[in-house]
């Protein structure tokens, strides 16, 4: 959309654009979402990345991610990328662990294993 | 993708996420790819000693404890204490710290509604929000519609929230940044003379402090 107009605006810079009615629905945050939020606070406080890094990776995901992923889905994707970049863990370690997590069971409750 | 819109889902909530996805309140829903990633990242961070399960839980407790009640207490104090109000408007971060609320290194700017000015807060670039004072932002604050339109047609946006700002009142829109957050100091309604701090705080809602509503007497 705005990122290829040559006007120097990226998709996330949406102030002033036309848009529809404001959907007023709200939801309480799920445990996994609060954990994502907590991981951001903790790892940024420990110097692994900054809020600017969080935003940069989200902005790089593009407009499609904004339309198809929820807020904390974009966050965990960005946090993970920043943590790999800062060397907290490798992509290989992440992939192996994600497989292990999925193997524990089909629901979040089962997959979180002993992490609780 | 994990986003099947299953309207027969007995756990289906009214609330939708900012991108229109149904919220799943329970842990017995099918694991999504991103939840799988959250669990994996969290476990790796704990294993590597970067954080601990206790630290994560403490952070969540802290987050849960933050609510608009904190912002409302700040507003109630400002309504009742002109000297505090002056300090709040001069340096929001220092004034909130006075009340024992951690500014978390962020600059807080408090903007005061007056007879001639109504303030409203948005973050057009992302969804920056004074979470220390209001808790986590509502979904609509993070939506494309609110972020896009508030700086362009604020009166129309406020009308959608049921707030008609008189033509002779100027609407000021404040666009937040990652390092600077805004809080609206609403006007104290007439008929609240002599109310104690708790009663005053009771009429200051989250939406009043974002600027999409004004305090109503019960």
Query: In chain A, which residues have pLDDT < 70?
Result: 1-7, 114-116
Q: Which among A13, A15, A87 is the top mutation candidate for probing chain B, defined by the most B β-carbons within 10 Å of its own β-carbon?
A: A15
Q: Please give the radius of gyration of chain B, using alpha carbons only, rounded to the nearest integer.
A: 20
CA distances from B217 to A47, B75, B111, B190, B214 (A): 46, 15, 22, 9, 10
CB-side neighbour CA atoms (13 Å) of B181: 24
- Mean pLDDT along residues B79-108: 93
Q: Cα separation of B165 and B160, whole Å?
A: 12
* Residue B77 shares a structural domain with residue B57: no
pLDDT score for A114 = 59
**Residue A3 confidence (pLDDT):** 45
Q: What pLDDT was estimated at residue B26?
A: 55
Q: Which residue did the predictor score with more confidence, B28 or B99? A: B99
Contacts of B15 in chain A (CB under 8 A): 25-28
Distance CA B110, CA B183 (A): 5
Residue B61: pLDDT over 50: yes
* B27 assigned to some structural domain: yes
Domain count, chain B: 2
The 10 Å Cβ neighbour count of residue A91 is 10
Comparison of pLDDT for B57 and A115, the residue scoring more: B57
Model confidence over B3-12: pLDDT tens digits?
Answer: 444 333 333 3
| Model pLDDT for residues B146-171, shown as the tens digit of each residue | 999 999 999 999 999 999 999 999 99
The ipTM of this complex is 0.87
Question: How far is the alpha carbon of B140 from chain A, nearest alpha carbon, in Å?
Answer: 6
pLDDT value at residue A7? 62
Question: Who contacts A58 (Cβ-Cβ below 8 Å, separation ≥6)?
Answer: A12, A65, A74, A75, A77, A78, B126
Residues B93 and B185 in one domain: yes
> Does B200 lie in the same domain as B175?
yes
Which of B127, B143, B148, B208 does the annotation list as catalytic? B127
Residue B81 lies in a domain: yes
The domain in which residue B51 lies consists of: 15-65
- DSSP code at position B31: P
Binning pLDDT at 50, 70 and 90, where does residue B185 land? very high
**Start-to-end Cα distance in chain B:** 46
Same-domain check for residues B142 and B118: yes
Q: Is B123 known to be catalytic?
A: yes
Q: Is the pLDDT of residue B74 over 70?
A: yes
Q: Is residue B41 part of a domain?
A: yes
As given in the structure block, the two tokens for residue A95 are 């992939």
pLDDT by residue (tens digit) across B104-136? Answer: 778 999 999 999 999 999 999 888 899 889 998
Nearest to B218 by CA among B195, B202, B206: B202
> Does some domain include residue B206?
yes
Least confident of A22-26, A53-57, B50-54, B79-83: A22-26
B127 is catalytic: yes
- Determine the average pLDDT of the residues in B182-196: 97
Same domain as B133, residue B51: no
Residue B28: pLDDT band with limits 50, 70, 90? confident
Q: What's the CATH number where B99 sits?
A: 3.90.330.10
Q: B18: pLDDT confidence band, cut at 50, 70 and 90?
A: very low
Mutation target among B11, B40, B121, B139 for the A interface, most CBs of A within 10 A = B40
Mean pLDDT of chain B: 88
Torsion A15-A19-A22-A28 (CA) sign: negative
Alpha helix stretches (DSSP H) within chain B: 33-47, 53-65, 68-80, 82-90, 92-98, 131-134, 144-149, 154-160, 197-202, 206-210
Q: B30 and B116, same structural domain?
A: no
Q: Do B109 and B92 form a contact (C-beta atoms < 8 A)?
A: yes
pLDDT at residue number B125:
86
Q: Is the pLDDT of residue B15 over 60?
A: no
> Does B187 map to a domain?
yes
- Say if residue B150 is in the same domain as residue B203: yes
Q: Among candidates A54, A48, A33, which has minimal Cα distance to B60?
A: A33
In chain B, pLDDT over 90 holds for what percent of residues?
Answer: 73
Any catalytic annotation for residue B208?
A: no
Boundary residue ending a domain (B28, B45, B65)? B65
The β-bridge partners of B112 are: B185
Å from B115 to nearest chain A CA?
27
Q: Do both B80 and B130 map to the same domain? A: yes
Q: What pLDDT, on the 0 to 100 scale, is given for residue B118? A: 98
Residue B155 lies in a domain: yes
A:9-38 residues touching chain B, CB 8 A cutoff: 12-32, 34-38
């Amino acid at each position: 959309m705005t990122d290829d107009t040559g006007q120097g605006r990226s998709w996330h810079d949406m102030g002033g654009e036309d848009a529809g009615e404001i959907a007023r629905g709200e939801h309480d945050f799920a445990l996994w979402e609060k954990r994502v939020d907590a991981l951001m606070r903790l790892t940024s406080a420990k110097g692994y990345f900054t809020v600017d890094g969080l935003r940069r990776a989200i902005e790089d995901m593009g407009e499609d991610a904004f339309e198809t992923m929820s807020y904390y889905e974009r966050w965990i994707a960005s946090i993970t990328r920043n943590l790999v970049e800062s060397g907290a863990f490798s992509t290989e370690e992440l992939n192996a662990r994600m497989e292990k997590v999925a193997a524990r069971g089909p629901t979040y409750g089962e997959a979180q294993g002993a992490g609780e | 993708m994990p986003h099947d819109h299953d309207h027969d889902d007995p756990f289906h909530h009214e609330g939708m996420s900012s991108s229109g996805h149904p919220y799943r309140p329970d842990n017995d829903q099918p694991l999504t790819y991103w939840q799988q990633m959250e669990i994996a990242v969290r476990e790796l961070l704990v294993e590597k000693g970067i954080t601990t399960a206790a630290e994560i839980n403490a952070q969540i407790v802290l987050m849960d404890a933050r609510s608009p009640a904190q912002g409302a207490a700040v507003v109630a104090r400002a309504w009742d204490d002109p000297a505090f109000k002056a300090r709040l408007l001069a340096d929001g971060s220092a004034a909130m710290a006075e009340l024992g609320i951690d500014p978390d290194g962020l600059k807080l700017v408090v903007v005061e509604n007056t007879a001639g000015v109504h303030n409203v807060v948005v973050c057009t670039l992302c969804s920056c929000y004074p979470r220390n004072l209001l808790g986590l932002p509502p979904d609509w604050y993070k939506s494309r519609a609110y972020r896009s339109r508030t700086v362009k047609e604020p009166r129309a946006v406020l009308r959608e929230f049921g707030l008609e700002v008189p033509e002779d009142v100027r609407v000021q829109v404040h666009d937040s940044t990652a390092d600077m957050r805004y809080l609206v100091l609403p006007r104290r309604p007439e008929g609240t003379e002599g109310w104690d701090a708790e009663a005053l705080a009771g009429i200051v809602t989250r939406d009043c402090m974002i600027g999409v509503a004004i305090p109503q007497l019960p």
